[in-house]
Amino acid sequence: MASQEAEALFKSQVEISQLVLGFADSMVLKCAVELRLADIINSHGRPISVSQIASGINNSPSSDISYLARIMRYLVRKEIFTAHPPSDGGETLFGLNQKSRLLIHDSERSLASTVIMQLNPSFLAPWYCLSQCIKEGGTAFSKAHGCEVWDLASRNPEVNRNFNEAMACTSKIVMTAILSQYKDGFNNIRSLVDVAGGTGGNVAEIVRAYPHIKGINLDLPHVVATAPKYEGVSHVAGNMFDAIPNADAIFMKRILHDWTDESCVEILRNCKKAIPEKTGKLIIADIVLKTDDHCDKLDGIRMAMDLVMFALTCGKERTEQEWKKLLEEGGFYRYKIIKIPALESIIEAYPE
C-alpha cells in the first residue's frame, strides 16, 4: 500500500511540475522565432548543423553554440524540428517539419507573428492579474496596464503592429478552412458585410472565390483609412454598435468573443436590422466550447483560448447553449453549427 501511495504521489508531483514548467515550452518557442531558426534552416534547403544555424543568426558574431544546442535539443523533443544523427561521426543535422514550417516568417501560413504577440511582455503581464480579477472583478488587461488592449494598441505602435500581424496570420489559416468547407454557404448571397473586418482581407478572399458577391468591409474610420483597395470590395467607416450597412448576409469572424454578452446582443440586434427578415442570414466564425462529456482533442486549446480572452479582453469563448441564448436575445431564433478544420466553427443564424 505504501508503495502504491508513493507512486501516486510521485505521479501527481510530475503532473503539477509539468503545469508549473509549461512556460518553458512557450519561451523556447519564442526564442526560436526571435532567432529565426526555422528561416535559417529553410534558407539552406536541407538539414544543417548547430554551428551552421549559429552562423546564420543575424547580429550575432559570437553566438553561444552550447546554449543553442540545448534549445535545439528541447525543440526536437517537442517535435518542432527534426534531428538526423550523423552517420560518419559528424554533427547532428537539424531539419524542418510541418510544425517548424509554420514558424518561417515570410511563409504564407506563418504563425511567427502570433508567437511574438502572445508572448510579448505587454500581453503576458495580464496573466499575473487573474486572481486579482476573481477577487475584485474588472479586466486583467486593465489591471496590468491601466487601460484596455485596444487603447494600448492605439498609442503603442509596436503593440499595435504585433497585434495586427498576429491577427492577419491566423486569419489566413481560418479563411482557408472556411472557404474549403463552407462552399454552399456563399452561393446565394449577392452582398455580404464583414463586420469589424479590419482592412478587408477576409471579405476580399470571399469575393475572390465568389465574384458574384458585392463585398462590404465595415470597421472604425482609422482602420479602414489604411485599408488597401480590393476588387469587388467597398470599405465603410463606421461602428458596429451604431449601425451596420444593409446586405443579404453578414460575416463576423472572431469578433463576438471579444465582448460581453450585453455588448454582443447589441451587435446582433444591429445585424438583424441590416439583413432581410425572411432571407437574410448571419455567418459567425467563432469557437464553440464543448461540454465536459463531449470534449474532443482540440477542446483543451479552445478552453485555453477562453482564458486568453479572460486575460486580454472583457469577452469569452462560449458553449453552444451560451451561443443559443445570445442569438435569441439578439433576434436570431434559428441556427445551425457547421464544423470546419479549425478551432472555430461556423454558426449560421437566421432571424426567422
**Percent of the chain as helix, strand, coil, to the nearest 5:** 55, 15, 30
* φ, ψ at 214 (rounded to 5°): -90, 115
pLDDT tens, residue by residue, 78-89: 999 999 988 777
User: Cβ-count burial of 135 within 10 angstroms (0-12 exposed, 13-18 middle, 19+ buried)?
Assistant: exposed
Q: What is the DSSP annotation of 146-171? A: SS-HHHHHHH-HHHHHHHHHHHHHHH
Annotated catalytic residue, options 84, 212, 222, 257: 257
**Cβ contacts of 270 within 8 Å, gap of 6 or more:** 240, 241, 242, 243, 244
| Whole-angstrom distance, CA of residue 217 vs CA of residue 250 | 10
> Vertex 276, ends 205 and 199: CA angle to 5°?
30
CATH architecture of 120-350: 3-Layer(aba) Sandwich (3.40)
Tell me if 259 sits within 8 A of 231, measured CB to CB.
Answer: no
What are the residue ranges of CATH 3.40.50.150 in the chain?
120-350
Which is higher by pLDDT, 151 or 135? 135
pLDDT for the residue 126: 96
- What b/e sequence results for 165-195 when a residue is b if at least 16 CB atoms lie within 10 Å of its CB, and e otherwise? bbbbbbbebbbbbbbeebeebbeebebbbbb
pLDDT tens, residue by residue, 104-122: 998 888 999 999 999 999 9
Range list of β-strands (E), 182-278: 191-195, 214-219, 233-237, 249-253
Tell me if 153 sits within 8 A of 175, measured CB to CB.
Answer: no
User: Cβ-count burial of 83 within 10 angstroms (0-12 exposed, 13-18 middle, 19+ buried)?
Assistant: middle
Mean pLDDT over each residue of the chain, to the nearest integer: 92
User: Cβ-count burial of 157 within 10 angstroms (0-12 exposed, 13-18 middle, 19+ buried)?
Assistant: exposed
257 is catalytic: yes
**Average pLDDT of the segment spanning 324-345:** 95
What are the residue ranges of CATH 1.10.10.10 in the chain?
1-102
Residue with C-alpha cell 432571424?
351
| Whole-angstrom distance, CA of residue 6 vs CA of residue 114 | 41
First vs last C-alpha separation in the chain: 63
Which is higher by pLDDT, 270 or 148? 270
pLDDT over threshold 70, residue 293: no
Fold held by 1-102? Arc Repressor Mutant, subunit A (1.10.10)
pLDDT tens, residue by residue, 150-202: 888 878 888 877 777 787 777 888 899 999 999 889 999 999 999 999 889 89
pLDDT interval class at 260 (50, 70, 90)? very high
